[in-house]
Amino acid sequence: MNTRSAPAPADPAARRDVEAGPIQVGLLGIGTVGRGTFEVLRRNQDEIRRRAGRGIAITMVADLDAARARAIVGDHARVVADAREVIANPAIEIVVELIGGYGIARQLVLEAIAAGKHVVTANKALLAVHGTEIFQAARDQGVIVAFEAAVAGGIPIIKALREGLTANRIGWIAGIINGTTNFILSEMRSKGLDFATALAQAQALGYAEADPTFDIEGVDAAHKATIMSAIAFGVPMQFDRAHVEGIAALQAADIRYAEQLGYRIKLLGITKRRDDLRSAANPAGGIELRVHPTLIPATRLIANVEGAMNAVVVHGDAVGTTLYYGKGAGAEPTASAVIADLVDITRLASADPDHRVPHLAFQPGELQDTPILPIDEVVTSFYLRLQVADEKGVLARITGILADNDISIDAVLQRPGTEGDGLGAPAAGEGKTDLIILTHDTVEGRMNAALAQMQALPTVLAPIVRIRKEELN
Ligand code: HSE
């Protein structure tokens, strides 16, 4: 009888699996993304093991709805109600946080780090607000916090910014990073719907949450823009300095006028380096960080990103402009990003922490305190719509105010007016007209001064609509 044990497998992945078994993962929360992660990991386990160098298995799941969790994982993983049981299990090397929010999720992530676990999270709100504290805790413990799924779901934008574009001095990023609002804006444009009707459709189709506040007010996009800004420019997360505007006030008339002028309106997350502000006294310059409805030329690829899709444009000095497009939410697209992080950690877990990719792309000691600029100092061009009395000299007075404030006009359009249905029916009553003005770039503070002067004219009959415009050259 041959008593020799079987020879060790030749390939290192199989060898590590035999020696140590698959790396064990604990899931905190098994809702849509958790289920997707569990299913994709099982479906593609062989390919994933060949890439990671070791199998990856979710062996423990914590969820308050234990019955639902068991229905998903069967007998492949132990289900518990208490997340702390997962964190306390010494066999679990990676904790995946899919609870969301700043509350208990922050506590559990910090506890998992303190217990020496690597963490994967899709929680953009948590990182944008508490990222500095979390990354410091992770460095102190020598563990990885990975967050590809936190920005633009399945699009590997964190990987691109942190690694693929690492040669570049990044100039700016502009992204459609909230699918719910992009769906609403697409419906408003293509079907001429007003905001409330398009939102109701988004909710009926399951795109928008029952409480869609974070989406429509731009907060979700601002969380994601904050994370990209930190990675692009090597600054700490500063969500509290972001300027945030949503889409609830957008009117169908402006979407239509924008289209007539060759533009589309998208909710963009924008972050931009302002080297023009650098001087001996201010060597750091400044950074713009803002989310707001934005006119962009209809000919740009990103202007044609419709429905719930996401897209991010990044400009680097060496590479030029690059575009990343895909699904920003959903079970398997987001699982794709979560599992990419699991593979990264599996490959790097045994590496010296100093040899890993830094959380924010720049070495921790190399982060800078470049200020995030107040919105008054942002430079952009504008779309203005003024409802005015159709009288002699009105246009001259308005253009005079813009000139007095050193604001240059790019284009002017005069139309009969949009009162009533907001869809282009002539205004009720005679003697009113809509003036649409596109400007060249100006400092926002200057535009605010001009707007106050224009609004005070007796011939300006309604609140002026002001939407920022970006050419994305
Ligand atoms: N609610 C987000 C969106 C998805 O609509 O894009 C997750 O970030």
Q: Where are the domains of the chain?
A: 12-150, 157-327+369-375, 376-469
- Residue 269 Cβ inside 6 Å of ligand 1? The answer reads no
- Nearest of 107, 118, 121 to residue 34 by alpha carbon: 121
Spell out a b/e string for 303-327, using b for 16 or more CB atoms within 10 Å of the CB, else e. bebbebbbbbbbbbeeeebeebbbb
Q: pLDDT by residue (tens digit) across 291-345? A: 999 999 999 999 999 999 999 999 999 999 999 999 999 999 999 999 999 999 9
What DSSP element (H or E) covers 253?
Answer: helix 252-260
Q: pLDDT by residue (tens digit) across 97-115? A: 999 998 999 999 999 999 9
167: CA distance to ligand 1 center in Å? 30
Give the span between the Cα atoms of 368 and 284, in whole angstroms.
Answer: 8
* Ordered DSSP codes for 87-117: HH-TT--EEEE---SSSHHHHHHHHHHHTT-
CA 426 to chain centre: 39
Q: pLDDT by residue (tens digit) across 404-425? A: 999 999 999 998 875 444 444 4
368: CA distance to ligand 1 center in Å? 30
What is the percent of the chain where pLDDT is above 70?
93
Q: What is the mean pLDDT of the segment spanning 207-232?
A: 93
Burial class (CB in 10 A: 0-12, 13-18, 19+), 280: exposed
Q: How far is CA 96 from CA 27, 105, 109, 114, 330, in A?
A: 5, 11, 9, 15, 17
The whole-number pLDDT of residue 424 equals: 45
- Residue 223 Cβ inside 6 Å of ligand 1? The answer reads no
Q: Distance from first CA to last CA of the chain, Å, rounded?
A: 75
Give the span between the Cα atoms of 444 and 425, in whole angstroms.
Answer: 32
Burial class (CB in 10 A: 0-12, 13-18, 19+), 408: exposed
Q: Are 126 and 133 in contact (CB under 8 A)?
A: no
Superfamily designation of domain 376-469: ACT domain (3.30.70.260)
Give the span between the Cα atoms of 142 and 147, in whole angstroms.
Answer: 16
The whole-number pLDDT of residue 444 equals: 98
Tell me the pLDDT band of 355, cut-offs 50, 70 and 90: confident
- Residue 218 Cβ inside 6 Å of ligand 1? The answer reads no
Active site residue 432: no
The whole-number pLDDT of residue 422 equals: 45
Q: Which residue has 């132990």 as its token pair?
A: 78
Which structure tokens are listed for 242? 């972001």
The whole-number pLDDT of residue 298 equals: 98
The whole-number pLDDT of residue 353 equals: 85
Which structure tokens are listed for 438? 């596109």
Give the span between the Cα atoms of 386 and 310, in whole angstroms.
Answer: 32
CATH 3.40.1280.10 assigned to 12-150? no
Q: Is the pLDDT of residue 470 over 90?
A: yes
- Nearest of 244, 209, 207 to residue 225 by alpha carbon: 244
What is the percent of the chain where pLDDT is above 90?
87
Q: Which fold has domain 157-327+369-375?
A: Dihydrodipicolinate Reductase; domain 2 (3.30.360)
Q: Is the pLDDT of residue 156 over 90?
A: yes
Average pLDDT, the chain: 93
Q: pLDDT by residue (tens digit) across 248-288? A: 999 999 999 999 999 999 999 999 999 999 988 888 899 99
- Residue 179 Cβ inside 6 Å of ligand 1? The answer reads yes
Span of 41-50, 269-278, 346-355, 379-388 with lowest mean pLDDT: 346-355
- Residue 215 Cβ inside 6 Å of ligand 1? The answer reads yes
The whole-number pLDDT of residue 420 equals: 43
Q: Is the pLDDT of residue 2 over 80?
A: no
Q: Is the pLDDT of residue 16 over 80?
A: no
Pocket test for ligand 1, best of 215, 268, 309, 310 (most atoms within 8 A of CB): 215
Q: Residues 224, 266, 272, 327: which is the catalytic one?
A: 224
Q: How far is CA 124 from CA 76, 147, 150, 471, in A?
A: 29, 8, 5, 28
Residues 323, 153, 470, 266, CA torsion sign: positive
The whole-number pLDDT of residue 18 equals: 55
| Nearest-10 Cα torsion for 233, 238, 243, 247 | 100
The whole-number pLDDT of residue 428 equals: 45
Q: What is the mean pLDDT of the segment spanning 375-391?
A: 97
The whole-number pLDDT of residue 17 equals: 59
The whole-number pLDDT of residue 145 equals: 98
Q: What is the mean pLDDT of the segment spanning 216-242?
A: 97
The whole-number pLDDT of residue 8 equals: 52
Burial class (CB in 10 A: 0-12, 13-18, 19+), 469: buried
Q: pLDDT by residue (tens digit) across 445-463? A: 999 999 999 999 999 999 9
What DSSP element (H or E) covers 467?
Answer: strand 465-469
Other Cβ atoms within 10 Å of 354 Cβ, number: 8
- The pTM score is 0.93
Q: Are 144 and 340 in contact (CB under 8 A)?
A: no
Three-state secondary-structure class, residue 86: helix
Give the span between the Cα atoms of 196 and 199, in whole angstroms.
Answer: 5
| 12-150 and 157-327+369-375: identical CATH topology | no
180: CA distance to ligand 1 center in Å? 6
Q: Are 464 and 454 in contact (CB under 8 A)?
A: yes
